Structure formats: structure tokens, C-alpha cells
Chains A and B, each alone.
Chain A
């Protein structure tokens, strides 16, 4: 079976315990305003363009079968309406200004790439994490990758937004050692306004998952003006307080991601928001710790 990948990141130390390799899959069910990986949202392949690296050689235009690349007074333009993301331009672009997001890989290929670093997982208590995008949109693929890896004793973690049908969880549950579960906001309307979707499925799945005996680390993107305030954090803490198998909570402070939006030709939606200061993070931490949670 094949999956659509964005990237494999090695020496990953923030996506679960130890040293890990994280496979980022393409395609997401949510449209979070603050998304750091905008190229992971669409399930279709895309071409990224890094303007700084373009030398204006025109090789992309020569290689493109549909005329999507043009040069306007020496300045490169990519007509994304025409682009089929076939990747021919990327192969032709020697300075590396163009890149292809969303290559197809088989589960065996992904597992083999992950297993290259097996020694590092053994020595660090690490393993493999599948993230996204929303990896559970490709749940059978994830299950196959994990199935292969677990034959070699590799620890497998699933990083999910939870915004999928429960059957996706059922598919991967037998092969997953740890869930990294994103929570954004407890208020349905606020959640919908900032992510484009209700939090109903997310909360239902989390409650159900917490009864399955697999450890869960909660991850909260912490964003001023959205959920970094006392009330929002307290509401999350209240929920987690009632659940089982929550092994910890990790706050992920919002960072700028403008360059990635430019790369895929989209406007940056968060110009009005600044990263949280230390006091905001400390406050959020203290509130969650008040519910007896282990917060990092």
C-alpha cells in the first residue's frame, strides 16, 4: 500500500520519547489558522517555490508540460491553476528553488527508511512517529507501516488531531504504542471559527481512546488570542482531569511560519498574532498542573 508523504524527519526529539524519525503525511481534516505546515493541508501533491534560491535559469519552464512556469521580466511565476504537480520542474531545478510536496511511498519503503536509524531508537528509547497533516486520514497505510516496524521492536507513536472517524483509530490501535493527541479548544464555536471544524469528533474520540489502555500525550498549540488564556486552559484541564491514560501534556508555543506560506503561494493568515511570551506559557502550565497533569 502507498501513502502520500510530505517528509521524513530524522533525529526528531520533540515528537515522543527519545530520538525518533517522524514521517509527516500529507492531507488534513482541519484548516487551523496557525498551521505551521500549510503544505500538509491539501491531500494533493503541490510544488513549493523558494524565491531566494531561484537563479532565473528557466529550466523549469522548459521542463513543464503544461506551461505553468513563466518568467515575467526575469522574475519567476508559477501558475498554480495550471500546475499538475508532476514534479518535472523539480528535477530540472538544480539550484533547489523548487520542491515537490506529497510523494507516494509504499509502507515498506517508509519502514525501511525508518529502520536505517534503528540503533538510535534502541539507544535512546525512541522510535517512529507518524504525523501530518492528519495521518489517520491514511489509517490503513499507517497501520501497515507500524505493523512492519513493530516486527523489529520499534516503538510507534501516532500524532493526530483526532478529527477523523473512530474507525480510523480502530485501524491503528493494535499497532500503536503511544498517541500524541492535539487539543485546541473546548468551545465548539471558537474551535470552528479557528480551525474550520467542530471539536465534537475530536473530544468524543479522545474520551473513547482514553479507555483503550494506550498512553496518550496531549499537545496543545498555545496561541495568544485563541487558547492561551486562563479560562481556555482551565477548560482543557477540566476535561483531561476526567480521562485515563493521559501521561503528559506538552504546550507547543505558536511560532511564525510565514516562509512556508510564501513557498506554496498562499497569504499568511496570522500577521496579527505574536508568539506567546514566557509569562503566558508559565500561566498555562500552572493552570494545567493545577489539575494534576504532568506538563512540559
Chain B
């Protein structure tokens, strides 16, 4: 047994910050690059998949290692991102040729790219076959693809041996010979694979798989055989998970582990560990279905209440049905994971490229308003939908053209080697070897778009408070000199998220259009596009920067509203109405994912009613067709922020004895009382 996790936690959290690679253990960067250059010069016509595999093998066998005597796991290889550098060289070359004469698109209206950064290997296959089995099933078969797969797994085995010797790691020594047999070996294999996959693909592993389903048997078998105690398993998991935090330091998207809907002893242990660690990364996704036991749901809710905001719960029944409707077999649909943030995909069988395209729903309002005079709101709405249609056409065209370049940009034999269909077909994932090849289009800014259209309808066409020309002038001036009109747009027009049909109907119309337009549209990999209704903060900021002032009162350049929720501060009717609004949408039209953010004040969920309240909110959301939900329970820091910027926290409720009030309506000394309470809690 190594030292208790808590004693070495700080050190483990810093394990990737200043890694001391042993110069005696391998070649320097210059030496590696020289070998690569020599190889390429000698083999100018080599298929790129073989060049990549050759480089992969070189790095595994000759790059330098670092050892960590205080760790259960070994994984540190100084690969200098050479595989990524090579990929980017090829990407520049291919894209430069393809898009040389491309006209400038409207900035911020849409995005389209080759998304090689959202993958999930077939973890089940990896654990079943091990590095050796995956090498052996490709070795001896003819063709570049099989040769490349055998070469990278041969490299992985060599690396396992090298690391095992350097660090004295018995688990890795075993994995160089055979598939994993223990919990420890399974975790070691998964982590080393993760590191190698990142070496091959950049920040690309976006699901660590169905954790309790994949590792539960290893854990239980170890317990039964007396090889492992529950406490030791917790230590192993902490040493394992801390690596994910050490990799991101909380500053990247984080790697998700999926749980449920069936649970086992490991599910409970994992949540206990997560709660004890209070760690930003990794993040845990939970499939909640009818078969999920209530006590496990309570465990999840308790974890959320303990401040673990990195938990997303998803509606299992609805997700499976949605995947069925979108071309997956029942068996595959039941084996979905969530890629990245919230994007469902079949584990190990689907390459869903969930970030391929992006669509700015708010920018289309700006474009439509600027493009003509409209005699009626219906005319404007038709122009808006027409604008979306045109932007979608451009985005998917761009993605298709990029996808055709993929085999020459990023062949991925390591990833492909895990996938049964790639092996059966003899095709790399870049050549659509996966069973399902889908491409996502994330639609961002629904709240801004719906609120803006509702504002124009009411202010210009119904109440005639101003003309369309006046409104256009106000937007062009970024509302400067039109403060009165802006206040009306902000405070006298219904807002998305309040269960108000006067704006919710517009959101329904927009989303119905998106679903029909995007889903089933073919991509260039034999699959289809899939709409998503979420926008992470980065996208919301990037799109927002290029979006002018909007009729909902938003100023130019401000971030768009994230995900499916209301614009911050506009859901004044509270959480239940927000959920009622969001579930008026047919969310099954977004097979590339949706999520709703819920913000709660701790006073709503303190005491013994806390866990049942969280569970009831989740159940109510799911019962109405919600797909995924995540919570924030505000702490003292956030309350202080709310004190300084109350306009952003208008819907934050607090309980003053027999009364719920909005936090922002309290006098400063009363706010201070709640802040103090939050500090104590």
C-alpha cells in the first residue's frame, strides 16, 4: 500500500505541471524529430495511416519516461505532441487546398469544422482484449489499416513494459502480457489508453465510458477473492480520478464518467469517493431510469447538495427512445454514453463528432431584421426561418467538405483498433469505419432569439410603441439614446423560461424547424447530422462577440444565453416555470443533446427535505419530457457576487422564515445574514 491519498493529494494534483522526464530513458525531442524526418524522407509515398502508426510506435518505444514512485499508476511519456503536430501539418495542407477560394462567411452566424475532438473508444473491447488482444486481432491481416492497428498496439505493449520496469508497476507488467484481471489493472489500462489516445488525438477522449458497468465486475471479483478491500478500492479510485484533475487543473472541459441506469456496488462507492474528493474534474453523468434504485438517486442528490456541481443527470427512458428514433438499434441505444458535455452516442460504436457545426440562433434575428421591411410579424418570422435555413446550408456544406478530408488529416488506428466494426470492415474511423457516423450541430441562443422575436411582435406589431425602423435605429445605436424603449423590451415583454405561451410558442416554432431541417440531413461519412440544443459558455461568448444589440434588450457583444434556459435574470417565475417552459419543446428533436441548468438557493434544499426536493425536481423535469438537468446550489461567494450584480440574479430565491423572497430584494444587512449562514454551512 502506498501513502494515504490525502497525504499526497497536493503532490498528485501537480503531477503534470513540471514532469521530470529521465534523459537516460529515451530520446530527446530533436532526436525523435530527426528519426521521423528520416522515415518520411525514405518513405515519401507511405499512406498517412502508416506514417502515423510508425510515429506512434516510435514514441512508445523511444520517447522518455517519468516515474512516480508514490503512484499506483504509471503513464508519463514525453511525446512532445508530435502526432498532433503532424496532424495539424496535414490539416493545413488539406484545408488550404480545399478552402483556398472560399468567400468570407458572416462572422459569428455559424461554424463548421472537422471535429476530431469528440470521441469515445470501445472501452468494453479494450478491457476485454487488453493491448495484446487488440494487437493480435489485427496482426497478420493484410492491408494498411490492419498493419497500422497492429503497429500502434505493439507500441502500447512496449510502452507498458518500459513503464512497468521503470516504476516497478506489476499491473502494467501484467497488461503487457494479457487483458486486465483486477480492478487495479483495469484502471491502469484505461488510464494508459487515455493518455495514448490523447497523444494520438489531442484533447479528444470525451467519455470515459459507463464506469459502473465496465468496472463493477472487476471490483466485485477482487472483493470476493480477498484481493482488495473497499477502503483500498476507494484509494485506487482517488489516485485514478485525481489524474483527470491534474490534467485540466479545472480549466478545461473535464472528462465524464457515466453511471447507471442499473447500478452495482461500485456505483455507490464511486459517488462516496466523489463526494469525499470535492473535485472539479472529472465530472459524473448519471443515467436515471425506472430501474435506478431510489437510494442511489438519493446518493446522487446528496452529492449535488454537497456542492458537487459537476453532475449531470439524464432521463434514461427518453434518451434511449430518442436514440431509437434516430437510427440506433435498441441494443445499441441502451448502451449510450454522453460525449463531452451532454451528447449521447453509442459507446464504442459511434463517432458522433458532436462539435462539427454550430448555429447562432440570435444572429439570424439580427440578419433578418436588417434585411428588409416587414408588414407583419409573420413576414419577419418567415424571413428569420429563411435566414436560419441559409446559414444551416452553409454550415453543413462546410462540415461535409471537411469530413471528406478526414482520411488524409487524421487517421486514428489506436481508436479504430478498439471498434469491432472498424476491424470487421478494415476501415479506420476517419474512413467511416465506426458503426454510426453522425455529425452534430449545436444551436445556440434560443432564449435570445425567442425573447427578441417576442419583443418585436409585441412592441412593434401589437402595441405599436415604435416602428420597425425605430427599433432598427435603436439596435444600430446599441440602445444608446433609447433607454426607455430598452426597459420596455426588457421588462414589459414576456420572456422565455416563465411558462408563458406568448414567447414559448416562438421557441417551439424555432426548435421544430431546427429538428426538421437538421436531423437526417446526410453528412459526408455515410451518416447524418443531428441537432443539439445547448451552447457552452465558450460558444455563447464567441457567438455573442459577433452579435449586435438585440430586440430583447441585450447589448452588442454580450454572451448569448447558454443551453436551453432563460436569459440570466429573466426567469423571474422560478424553477418550476422554467422547467415547464423548456419541456414545451420536443426535446427528442435534439439527438445531439440538450441540458437545462437549474440554480437553487441552499435554503430551498437544506435539511431533511433537501434530497427529496432535488429528486422531485429531477423526476418532474423528466416526467414532462426533459432530457438532462444540472444544478447549482449557491454558496457564499456567489451570494456576494449577487450582492454586487443583482441584475444577474433576479430569480435567486431565499427563505426568510415563513416567506420566500428574492435575494436581490433584501436589504444589505439581511443579505449579509444569508452570506454568513452560507459560510457556516
Does A pair with B? yes
Name A's B-contacting residues (CB within 8 A). Answer: 9-15, 18-19, 21-22, 24, 36-37, 50, 94-96, 116-117, 119-120, 122-124, 126, 131, 219, 221, 252-260, 262, 275, 296
Q: Which residues of B contact A120 (CB under 8 A)?
A: 576, 616-617, 620
At the interface with chain A, which of B306-314, B364-372, B402-410, B658-666?
B658-666
Asked if B484 and A94 make an inter-chain contact with CB atoms under 8 angstroms apart, the answer reads yes
Asked if B660 and A9 make an inter-chain contact with CB atoms under 8 angstroms apart, the answer reads yes
Given contacts A50-B665, A119-B620, A256-B669, contact A94 B613 (CB under 8 A): no
Q: Which residues of A contact B657 (CB under 8 A)?
A: 36, 221, 252-255, 257
Given contacts A11-B574, A11-B575, contact A259 B609 (CB under 8 A): no
- Nearest-neighbor residue (CB-CB) of A96 within chain B: B491
Asked if B491 and A117 make an inter-chain contact with CB atoms under 8 angstroms apart, the answer reads no
Max count, chain A CB within 10 A of own CB: residue among B624, B657, B673? B657
Which residues of B (586-632) have their CB < 8 Å from a CB of A? 604-605, 607-609, 612-613, 616-617, 619-620, 623-624
Alpha-carbon gap, A219 to B667, bound state (A)? 26
Asked if B576 and A94 make an inter-chain contact with CB atoms under 8 angstroms apart, the answer reads no
Contacts A/B (CB < 8 Å), 18 sampled: A12-B660, A13-B613, A15-B658, A36-B657, A37-B658, A117-B577, A117-B580, A120-B616, A120-B617, A120-B620, A123-B623, A124-B613, A219-B658, A255-B656, A256-B656, A257-B656, A257-B657, A259-B665
Q: Which residues of A contact B620 (CB under 8 A)?
A: 19, 119-120, 122-124
Q: Which residues of A contact B609 (CB under 8 A)?
A: 13-14
Asked if A10 and B573 make an inter-chain contact with CB atoms under 8 angstroms apart, the answer reads yes
Which of A10, A14, A50, A258 is close to B574, meaning CB atoms less than 8 Å apart?
A10
Which of B499, B619, B656, B669 is close to A116, meaning CB atoms less than 8 Å apart?
B499
Given contacts A94-B491, A116-B580, A119-B624, contact A18 B667 (CB under 8 A): no
Given contacts A124-B620, A253-B657, contact A13 B604 (CB under 8 A): yes
- The answer, yes or no, to whether B655 is at the interface (CB within 8 Å) is yes
Q: Which residues of A contact B574 (CB under 8 A)?
A: 10-11
Alpha-carbon gap, A122 to B620, bound state (A)? 8
B-side binding surface: helix, strand, loop or mixed? helix
- The answer, yes or no, to whether B492 is at the interface (CB within 8 Å) is yes
- How many Å from the CB of B493 to the closest CB on chain A? 11
Residue-wise interface mask of B (639-681) relative to A, using a CB-CB cutoff of 8 A (1 in contact, 0 not): 0000000000000010111111100011101100100000000
The number of inter-chain residue pairs (CB within 8 angstroms) is 105
Alpha-carbon gap, A268 to B613, bound state (A)? 34
- The answer, yes or no, to whether B488 is at the interface (CB within 8 Å) is yes
Q: Which residues of B contact A11 (CB under 8 A)?
A: 574-576, 604, 653, 660
Asked if B670 and A258 make an inter-chain contact with CB atoms under 8 angstroms apart, the answer reads yes
Asked if B669 and A258 make an inter-chain contact with CB atoms under 8 angstroms apart, the answer reads yes
Asked if A131 and B623 make an inter-chain contact with CB atoms under 8 angstroms apart, the answer reads no
- How many Å from the CB of A284 to the closest CB on chain B? 15
Q: Which residues of A contact B612 (CB under 8 A)?
A: 18, 124
- How many Å from the CB of B499 to the closest CB on chain A? 6
Asked if A14 and B616 make an inter-chain contact with CB atoms under 8 angstroms apart, the answer reads no
Max count, chain A CB within 10 A of own CB: residue among B665, B666, B669? B665
- How many Å from the CB of A35 to the closest CB on chain B? 9
Asked if A37 and B653 make an inter-chain contact with CB atoms under 8 angstroms apart, the answer reads no
Asked if A36 and B575 make an inter-chain contact with CB atoms under 8 angstroms apart, the answer reads no
Alpha-carbon gap, A11 to B576, bound state (A)? 6
Q: Which residues of A contact B667 (CB under 8 A)?
A: 258-259, 262
Q: Which residues of A contact B575 (CB under 8 A)?
A: 10-11
Alpha-carbon gap, A22 to B655, bound state (A)? 13
- The answer, yes or no, to whether B487 is at the interface (CB within 8 Å) is yes
Asked if B613 and A10 make an inter-chain contact with CB atoms under 8 angstroms apart, the answer reads no
Q: Which residues of B contact A12 (CB under 8 A)?
A: 660
Q: Which residues of B contact A96 (CB under 8 A)?
A: 491
Alpha-carbon gap, A199 to B347, bound state (A)? 67
Asked if B576 and A131 make an inter-chain contact with CB atoms under 8 angstroms apart, the answer reads no
Alpha-carbon gap, A19 to B574, bound state (A)? 13
Asked if A36 and B613 make an inter-chain contact with CB atoms under 8 angstroms apart, the answer reads no
Q: Which are the 4 A-B pairs with shortest beta-carbon distances?
A: A124-B616, A259-B667, A94-B487, A123-B619
Max count, chain A CB within 10 A of own CB: residue among B576, B653, B655, B658? B658
- Nearest-neighbor residue (CB-CB) of B485 within chain A: A94
- How many Å from the CB of B626 to the closest CB on chain A? 10
Alpha-carbon gap, A256 to B612, bound state (A)? 28
Alpha-carbon gap, A259 to B664, bound state (A)? 11
Which residues of B (430-456) have their CB < 8 Å from a CB of A? none
Which of A36, A119, A253, A254 is close to B623, meaning CB atoms less than 8 Å apart?
A119
- How many Å from the CB of B621 to the closest CB on chain A? 9
Q: Which residues of A contact B658 (CB under 8 A)?
A: 14-15, 36-37, 131, 219, 221, 252
Q: Which residues of A contact B576 (CB under 8 A)?
A: 10-11, 19, 21, 116-117, 120
Which of B488, B604, B617 is close to A94, meaning CB atoms less than 8 Å apart?
B488
- How many Å from the CB of A77 to the closest CB on chain B? 19
